[in-house]
């Protein structure tokens, strides 16, 4: 009986060893799959973060353009010579377009100079017209 008992013990030990090996293999596969899934999620998050960053950057540029345009509009409204006229000012990437109608060439030039000397403005498109001139 001792021999039979010994055989059973050996069989059980082999079975336990086999289960341990299978467990290690399954754990390695699961870990690999988990790492792949984690890598995929990380890559997707990086893409999302980049899109969000670009969107924020674009929003910041829009805000800056809006600020520059509003600064120019404000200066035109505050100017003692030009305050009686209505101007529209649009901005894009530091480029400002000034539109409106004035009475004479001197007023037109003054409006453009005010826009050109506003901090952050890189260039000005002149859309100001003089009444009676085309």
What confidence score (pLDDT) does residue 60 get?
Answer: 54
- Using an 8 Å Cβ cutoff, are 120 and 92 in contact? no
| Closest to 96 (Cα-Cα) out of 75, 116, 119, 113 | 116
Q: What is the pLDDT of residue 39?
A: 64
| Residue 122 Cα distances to 10, 17, 20, 41, 114, angstroms | 86, 76, 71, 42, 13
Per the model's pLDDT, the better-predicted residue between 133 and 40 turns out to be 133
> Using one digit for the tens of pLDDT, what is the confidence trace for 73-127?
999 999 999 999 999 999 887 789 999 999 999 999 999 999 999 988 899 999 9
CA 77 to chain centre: 33
Nearest to 93 by CA among 54, 125, 128, 120: 120
pLDDT at 103: 97
pLDDT of the residue at 73:
93
Please tell me which residue, 119 or 11, carries the higher pLDDT value: 119
The pLDDT tens digits for 25-82 are 666 665 555 556 566 656 666 666 666 555 555 555 556 667 888 999 999 999 999 9
> How many angstroms separate the Cα of 116 from the Cα of each of 18, 45, 87, 110?
81, 42, 15, 10
Q: Are 124 and 69 in contact (CB under 8 A)?
A: no
Q: Quote the pLDDT of residue 11.
A: 76
Q: What SS3 class is residue 84?
A: coil
């Amino acid at each position: 009986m001792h021999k039979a008992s010994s055989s059973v013990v050996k069989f059980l030990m082999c079975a336990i060893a086999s289960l341990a090996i299978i467990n290690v293999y399954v754990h390695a596969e699961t870990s690999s799959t988990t790492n792949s899934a984690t890598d995929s999620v990380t890559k997707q998050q990086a893409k999302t973060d980049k899109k969000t960053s670009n969107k924020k950057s674009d929003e910041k540029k829009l805000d800056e353009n809006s600020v520059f345009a509003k600064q120019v509009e404000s200066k035109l409204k505050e100017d003692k010579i030009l305050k009686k006229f209505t101007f529209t000012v649009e901005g894009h990437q530091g480029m400002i377009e000034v539109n409106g109608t004035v009475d004479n060439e001197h007023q037109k030039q003054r409006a453009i100079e005010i826009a050109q000397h506003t901090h952050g403005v890189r260039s000005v498109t002149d859309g100001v017209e003089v009444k009676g001139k085309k």
